[in-house]
Chains A and B, each alone.
Chain A
Amino acid sequence: GENVEQHPSTLSVQEGDSAVIKCTYSDSASNYFPWYKQELGKRPQLIIDIRSNVGEKKDQRIAVTLNKTAKHFSLHITETQPEDSAVYFCAAALDSNYQLIWGAGTKLIIKP
């Protein structure tokens, strides 16, 4: 079955700098890749997603890139702000089922 690995487990960046979180997946048939943000004590919420027929997607300061050949995708956050501090989860899914296979999460710390 599908397996998703996420790195790093913790990332500390200076406010205003960029942050990059990477995930790799094992099943080449996976075609949907979302990113969720979970603030401390809160529920996970979708922040951006990408399908396999697209190489990159942007939404303001957030972007996701997908490399199908290498089977990895990344979350890019530019001009980081204190409110970006949270745990970020990547996931992968197939069209044939609606189960998300989750990465273990990255704790992003924004230093003032």
Chain B
Amino acid sequence: NAGVTQTPKFRVLKTGQSMTLLCAQDMNHEYMYWYRQDPGMGLRLIHYSVGEGTTAKGEVPDGYNVSRLKKQNFLLGLESAAPSQTSVYFCASSYSVAGSYEQYFGPGTRLTVT
């Protein structure tokens, strides 16, 4: 099993450009999450999904959109990138069984907006 994978690993954008980050998991997890991690900071939840076709806002959703058209994929979009969105983005997934909340993380995408 590949676990959780993220594409791309690195990206440099200019202010105002758009891009989509792809997260894929092969563990049949219901729940998927997008986080951002700024230098020396913790993890902040951007958006999450509790199943195919559903999405919900997290702690810092502004400037981002998401889609979960297939159970195994969770896409994060930036419509008009800003320097404040320079960060490392982590995707994670977890089971939906009560008592089993371990989140499995992808390797991260390092995004720089100039």
Give me the interface of A with B, judged by CB distance under 8 Å. Answer: 6, 32, 34, 42-46, 49, 51, 89, 93, 95, 98-100, 102-105
B80 within 8 A of partner (CB): no
> Within 8 Å CB of B96, what residues of A?
98
- Identify the closest chain A residue to B30 (Cβ): A98
Give the distance to chain A from B53, nearest Cβ to Cβ, in Å. Answer: 17
Contacts of A42 in B (CB 8 A): 107
Decide yes or no: A98 and B108 within 8 Å by CB, A104-B41, A105-B42 being known contacts.
Answer: no
Are B105 and A49 in contact, CB atoms less than 8 angstroms apart?
A: no
User: Closest CB of chain A to B102's CB: distance in Å?
Assistant: 5
Q: Is the CB of B99 within 8 A of A45?
A: no
Q: Which of A51, A89, A93, A95 contacts B42 (CB 8 A)?
A: A89
Nearest-Cβ distance from residue B49 to partner chain A, whole angstroms: 10
Chain B contact residues: helix, strand, loop or mixed? loop
Closest 3 CB pairs of A and B: A43-B105, A104-B42, A102-B43
**Residue numbers in A under 8 Å from B31 (CB-CB):** 98
Count residues of B near A (Cβ-Cβ below 8 Å).
21
- Do A49 and B102 contact each other (CB < 8 Å), given the known contacts A99-B45, A102-B42? yes
A89's partner among B43, B99, B101, B106 (CB-CB below 8 A) is B43
Residues of B within 8 A of A98 (CB): 31, 50, 94, 96, 101
Q: Which residues of A contact B103 (CB under 8 A)?
A: 44, 46, 100
Residues of B within 8 A of A102 (CB): 42-44
Instruction: Write out the residue numbers on chain A whose beta carbons fall within 8 Å of the beta carbon of B101.
Output: 32, 34, 49, 93, 98, 100
B34 within 8 A of partner (CB): no
- CB of B102 within 8 A of CB of A34, answer yes
Contact (Cβ within 8 A) B48 A46: no
12 contacts between A and B (CB under 8 A): A34-B101, A34-B102, A42-B107, A43-B90, A43-B105, A43-B107, A46-B103, A49-B101, A51-B99, A98-B94, A100-B101, A104-B41
Q: Which residues of B contact A49 (CB under 8 A)?
A: 101-102
